[in-house]
Chain A
Amino acid sequence: MIALRILTEEGVEKFHDYIQKVKSEPNAARPDLNAEPYSKKFHKTVGIEEGKTFRNRMEMAKYLKSRFELVKAEASEINDRGLWTWLAYIWFDQLCPLENGMRKVRETVRYICSSDFTDYYRHYVAITYVIFDVHKENNSRIFLYSPVNEHNDFIEQLASRQNIISNKNLVETATRLYLDPTSNTPKRGAQSRDRAGTLRRLIRMFDQIELTYDIRIMSADEILDLLPAEFNEWKRS
């Protein structure tokens, strides 16, 4: 167990160098950034298990939520790119695993949290927690079913749109259409590009109806009623 820390800009830079390095040297030793000037203590003591493994993003979200709740940390306190980047740093072997002597290093913003939302939602840890915190367990399932090092289409398509991810009723609508409640994974074909009533079509519908209707205060039932017939198959299945 290690106390939660926040990477400083200097620490972020070192971590960035390390990420670049493992592209050519997958076994390179991770630098120790758990000391100043590379990181500083979070102002409350939150114990984090460095060796903790998660089967999926939901497990990670629940784990972090329980840790932050123990010390009653507010959202405004947690919202710190250095904090999310530190978590990605200590869990790096899980987020970028060494397999057969190789690491599949994704774009840097997956590990180093961007301060801008256009990239922020791509961070493996930050968006996992934020989605769970905003939408709670039930409506987070459509996003958090995948392994911690996989960025699925629901995160890419829905979480990247501020008007959608900040609207609980729209997220509930998407969950009710596309989540298979028995497996807690998306229904087959929900992410298809060429099938009627799929996720991308829903986003286009959201963009259209929000110009006319005050969808911020409409329930998921009311929004579902507004959707055209092409979505009926998904409502029923």
Chain B
Amino acid sequence: MKRRLNYTGRIKLPVKCVSITLNVEDDEVKSFNADIDLVGYKLPSKAKVYVEVYHKTEFRRFDFGTVKKIRSNVDTDLSSIAYGYNLKFRLTVVDETGEHGLILAHADRVRPKSDVDKKEILPVEFRDIGQQVWKISYEDLEDAPVLILNNNIPDIKNLARKDPQFFVTVYPSVIKEVLMHMIFVRGVDSPSDPSTEWHKDWIIFAKSQLVGVEVPQVLDPDNDGFNGMEVAEWIQGVVEEFSESRSEWKSFIKKLDFGDES
């Protein structure tokens, strides 16, 4: 199991402590504004605050001053960045008083405001994945899931959006795989307040499907109280409720009855 140990007690900041707004001209990102709020995190006042922008091979770091005095007039020019789309941001607080800078706190995978508004828990991408219809790829620093659909399948984008058969057969399996991976492979540190952002999103989603059923108290297989059978049944419940709530079932059955004429 992949584990990341936190020996130094660095603080994982919630993404809400920084709000990013992109300045766009002619569909090109020119710069960004960052509204940073570190009040209440007990960070040393002299610690340095950086906002980092990254995507693919690109990485830029911007100095936003210190915890005590966050700068507002930072030159955040991004006009020469090679990949001006899907930019991700990271807020890092660093203690630079020692020989090497130590990371005291960070908020990762911060998305610009416009992206946050349309936040999706499972981004979809279309790629050549051989003879598989779909697969889940776990990406970025937090191994967040991305649904990959095979772009060799004719009209795949429409199928994924509208086809009842696709909804009935693919999506329940996708949900099951992501939840199984999240819990049995990665482990969720706190079901009520997961420190990993995408875990939080998926727990909220699972709860919204399985209303009235308590989330198992332990979702980390390394924890003594973990009950794999209970968790597997809970996941199955989420998947069943998701399937029950979809209206595509009738269309799917109808299609089987009448073939493509329906």
B90-104 interface bits toward A, Cβ cutoff 8 Å, 1 = contact, 0 = none: 001010100011110
Taking the complex as formed, is B248 at the interface, i.e. its CB lies under 8 A from any CB of chain A?
A: no
Q: Which residue of B lies closest to A222 (CB)?
A: B100
Cβ–Cβ contact B54 & A214, under 8 A: no
Which residues of chain B have C-beta atoms less than 8 A from A114's C-beta?
A: 127
Query: Which of A76, A118, A211, A222 is B84 in contact with, Cβ under 8 Å?
Result: A76
- Knowing A76-B82, A79-B82, say if A214 contacts B94 (CB, 8 Å): yes
Instruction: Please name 5 pairs of A and B residues whose Cβ atoms are closer than 8 Å in the assembled complex, sorted by A.
Output: A76-B80, A120-B56, A130-B57, A166-B56, A222-B100
Question: Per-residue 0/1 for B31-53: is the Cβ within 8 Å of any A Cβ (1 yes, 0 no)?
Answer: 00000000000000000000010
Q: Is the CB of B128 within 8 A of A107?
A: yes
Residue ID in chain A nearest B4 by CB atoms: A211
Residue in A closest to B84 when the chains form the complex, CB atoms: A76
Q: Are the CB atoms of B102 and A212 closer together than 8 Å?
A: yes
A74, A163, A216 — which one has the most chain B CB atoms within 10 A of its CB?
A: A216
Kindly list chain A residues whose C-beta atoms are within 8 Å of the C-beta of B193: none
**Considering the complex of A and B, which 5 residue pairs feature the smallest CB-CB distances, nearest first?**
A214-B101, A75-B82, A166-B59, A108-B128, A117-B56
A interface size (C-beta, 8 A)? 35
Which residues of chain A are within 8 angstroms of B127 by Cβ–Cβ distance? 109, 114, 116, 119
Interchain CB contact under 8 A, B101 and A162 = no
Interface string of B159-183 (1 = CB under 8 A from A): 0000000000000000000000000
Task: Kindly state whether residue A217 has any CB partner on chain B within 8 Å.
Answer: yes
Number of CB contacts from chain A to chain B under 8 A: 82
Q: Bound state CA distance, A74 and B78, in angstroms? A: 13
* Residue numbers in A under 8 Å from B125 (CB-CB): 116
| B141 CB-CB contact with A under 8 Å | yes
Task: Determine if A112 is an interface residue (Cβ-Cβ < 8 Å).
Answer: yes
Complex interface: stretch among B5-13, B207-215, B254-262: B5-13
B101 touches A213 (CB 8 A): yes
* A165, B57: Cβ atoms closer than 8 Å: yes
Within 8 A of B (CB), among A116-171: 116-120, 130-131, 134, 162-163, 165-167
- The chain A residues found within 8 Å of chain B, CB to CB, are 16, 74-76, 78-79, 107-109, 112, 114, 116-120, 130-131, 134, 162-163, 165-167, 207-208, 211-214, 216-218, 222, 226
Q: Using A119-B127, A162-B140 as known contacts, say yes or no to A212 and B58 having CB atoms under 8 A apart.
A: no
Specify the main secondary structure of chain B where it touches its partner: loop
How far, in angstroms, from A167 to B5 measured CA to CA in the complex? 22
Binding site for A on B (CB under 8 A): 4-8, 10, 28, 52, 54-59, 61, 80-84, 92, 94, 96, 100-103, 125, 127-128, 130, 137, 139-141, 146
Residues of B close to A74: CB separation below 8 A:
80, 82
For the complex with contacts A75-B82, A112-B128, A166-B56, 8 further pairs of A-B residues with Cβ separation under 8 Å are: A109-B128, A130-B56, A162-B56, A165-B57, A211-B5, A211-B6, A213-B101, A214-B92
Q: Among B7, B56, B81, which residue has its beta carbon within 8 angstroms of that of A212? A: B7
Whether A216 contacts B84 by the Cβ 8 Å rule is no
Least CB distance, B219 to chain A, in whole angstroms: 22
Complex-state Cα separation, A227 to B238, whole angstroms: 45
Which residues of the other chain, A, contact B92 by a CB distance below 8 angstroms?
Answer: 214
Indicate whether A213 sits within 8 Å of B100 (C-beta atoms), given known contacts A79-B82, A108-B128, A114-B127.
yes
Chain A contacts for B52, CB-based, 8 A? 216
Selected contact of A162 from candidates B5, B7, B54, B100, CB within 8 Å: B54
Q: Is the CB of A75 within 8 A of B80?
A: yes
* A118-B137 contact in complex given A76-B84, A212-B8, A216-B52, C-beta closer than 8 Å: yes
Given A76-B80, A109-B127, A211-B10, the answer on whether A134 and B102 have CB atoms closer than 8 Å is: no
Contacts of A130 in B (CB 8 A): 56-57
State A167–B54 Cα separation when bound (angstroms): 11
Nearest CB on B from A7, distance (A): 15
Contact A211 B103 (CB under 8 A): yes
CA distance A167 to B56 in the complex (A): 11
Q: What distance in Å separates the Cβ of B91 from its nearest Cβ neighbour in chain A? A: 13
Contacts of A109 in B (CB 8 A): 127-128
* Contact A118–B139 (Cβ < 8 Å): yes
Closest to A19 in B: B128
Shortest distance from the beta carbon of A29 to any chain B beta carbon, whole Å = 22
Residues from chain A with Cβ under 8 Å of B56 in the complex = 117, 120, 130, 162, 166
